Amino acid sequence: MKALKERILRDGKCFEGGILKVDNFINHQMDPVLMKSMAVEFVRRFASTDINKVMTIEASGIAPAIMVGYLLELPVVFAKKKRPSTMENMLTTMVYSFTKDRSYEVCVSRDYLCPGDRVLFIDDFLANGNAAKGVIDLVQQAGAELVGMGFLIEKAFQHGGDYLRQQGIHVESLAIIESLENCEIKIRE
């Protein structure tokens, strides 16, 4: 998506270990106009998919997911990173975060991820695919169906996208980063 690629090249910053910082418009300050355009693009790309629920993981996935849910007029459920004492019918899974170098538990209630749900997962980044694998596990535990995964930014050099596509999952990424070597951002045309 042209506008996102241009914005990454303009405002994105590279960090050691293949991390792209986009705090200027996604992860800290947010640009709602760009966020809306990205959601419109997801709606276009998943137009032929039968979806009844949008899902994400807190925190950075919530903004794009709610934009998509708003456009599709569908509920948005986010997996939580802290186990709330009040959550009923809890499903849990473990996710390894390479940016934080630790594993954490994510949970969602069966009340909101239900058997037969046709789930579109939306997140900010796809790197090694660990968060995505956690979501696949939660969706399976719930007896729901994962019908697609949409990412604002995919880092192709970490190969999470290869794994998901090999599983036959419909994956759409709005900008694909080929490399961040020598702190130079290379985006796929």
Confirm or deny that 156 is annotated as ligand binding: no
Least distance from ligand 5GP to the Cβ atom of residue 126, Å: 5
Report H helices in the chain: 2-11, 32-45, 62-72, 130-142, 160-166
Burial class (CB in 10 A: 0-12, 13-18, 19+), 14: middle
Cβ closest to ligand 5GP, residue 20 vs residue 77: 20
Least distance from ligand 5GP to the Cβ atom of residue 115, Å: 26
Task: Cis check for the bond before 132: say yes or no (omega within 30 of 0).
Answer: no
Least distance from ligand 5GP to the Cβ atom of residue 129, Å: 5
Binding site for ligand 5GP (CB under 6 A): 19-22, 27, 60, 97-99, 123-132, 155, 160
**Distant-in-sequence, close-in-space partners of 58: CB < 8 Å, separation ≥ 6:** 78, 79, 80, 81
Confirm or deny that 129 is annotated as ligand binding: yes
Binding residues for xanthine: 20, 27, 155
Instruction: Indicate the annotated binding residues.
Output: 20, 27, 127-131, 155
